[in-house]
Amino acid sequence: MQIPSELKERLTSSKKILALTGAGISAESGVPTFRGKEGLWKEFRAEELATPQAFSRDPHLVWEWYLWRMDLISTKSPNSAHYSLAELEKKKSDFFLITQNVDGLHARSGSKKIIEIHGNIFRTKCTGCKKTFSSQIEELKVSFKCKECASLLRPDVLWFGETYNSELLNESIHLAEEAEIALVIGTSGAVGIPVELARIAKSNGALLIEINLEKSAYSSLSDYFFPGKAGEILPELVSYFS
């Protein structure tokens, strides 16, 4: 992959690097994306199941979908794109990663400085006492009840129609404002706030570099667009950061 020399210089000289990832970075690990054809489950789309309304209407159906995803993800591993961001974190002390993914693969690849802005599918939250637990699939298959107060547990993820955790959002906005380079990887931009974070980075002077199989809602903001698979492009791009 050829990269222009002025970009190489920016990659070397920049300190504050922000990566914003979506489902596309986990695609090569075998985790279905949301809007690809495999983004379906039975006859449902994510937007129909990942909502508080769906959960209050039929918690068992929603839990069936999440347990299916948890089972699937636990058989998958991080891919070279995840590992290259973990390597970039070691190279650049001011690197930070904001992921929309709930699959936990960034942490499993060694990344430490992560904001999981949409939560984590392997964490549950009690609808009663609001405590969070890292629940085992096997326990959940037996009972969705909170160990402490016996109320119904839910996946600790952000559903459509729910509002962002203001702490996480403010931290993310701050990182976007400070970023010198923003890497936008494997995300369609179908969800509003992550695109706003890219817009904030851009308007505060960040260079936006996008990696995606196809153009996205971020592409009009991107200074560089590298078409292709994150697992192939990212390791090479990260090799230019020093």
Which of the following is catalytic: 60, 82, 106, 118?
A: 118
Q: Scan residues 150-179 and list those touching Zn ion (CB under 5 A).
A: 151
- Tell me which residue has tokens 């400070």: 178
Instruction: Report the distance separating Cα 87 and Cα 85, nearest Å.
Output: 5
Strand residue runs (E) in the chain? 17-21, 40-41, 44-45, 96-99, 114-116, 119-126, 132-134, 153-157, 181-185, 207-212, 224-227
Instruction: Report the distance separating Cα 73 and Cα 30, nearest Å.
Output: 8
Contacted by 160, from Zn ion, ligand BV8, none: CB < 5 to 8 Å by type: ligand BV8
- Tell me which residue has tokens 């974190």: 89
**With binding defined as CB under 6 A, does residue 23 bind ligand BV8?**
yes
**With binding defined as CB under 6 A, does residue 190 bind ligand BV8?**
yes
Residue 106 a catalytic site member: no
Instruction: Give the pairing type, strands 96-99 and 17-21.
Output: parallel
- Residues 99-128 as x/- pattern, contact with Zn ion by CB under 5 A: ---------------------------x-x
**With binding defined as CB under 6 A, does residue 28 bind ligand BV8?**
yes
Which of 13, 19, 16 has its CA nearest to residue 197? 19
Q: How far is the CB of 178 from ligand BV8 (least distance, A)?
A: 19
* 188 is known to lie in a ligand binding site: yes
Collapsing DSSP states into helix, strand and coil, what is residue 120? strand
Q: How many residues bind ligand BV8 (CB under 6 A)?
A: 38
- Contact with Zn ion (CB under 5 A): which of 18, 20, 146, 181? 146
Question: What residue type is assigned to position 132 of the chain?
Answer: T
- Residues 210-229 as x/- pattern, contact with ligand BV8 by CB under 6 A: -xxxx-x------------x
Instruction: Report the distance separating Cα 120 and Cα 132, nearest Å.
Output: 11
- Contact with ligand BV8 (CB under 6 A): which of 139, 193, 223, 235? 193
- Contact with ligand BV8 (CB under 6 A): which of 13, 164, 203, 239? 164
**With binding defined as CB under 6 A, does residue 35 bind ligand BV8?**
yes
Beta carbon nearer to ligand BV8, 94 or 173 = 173
Q: Is the sign of the CA dihedral 8, 194, 101, 36 positive or negative?
A: negative
115 backbone dihedrals φ, ψ, rounded to 5°: -110, 115
Binding residues for ligand BV8, rule: CB under 6 A, are: 22-24, 27-28, 33-36, 39, 47, 50, 100, 102, 118, 157-164, 169, 186-188, 190-193, 211-214, 216, 229-230
**Chain contacts with Zn ion (rule: CB under 5 A):** 126, 128-129, 146, 148-149, 151
Q: Which residues are catalytic?
A: 118
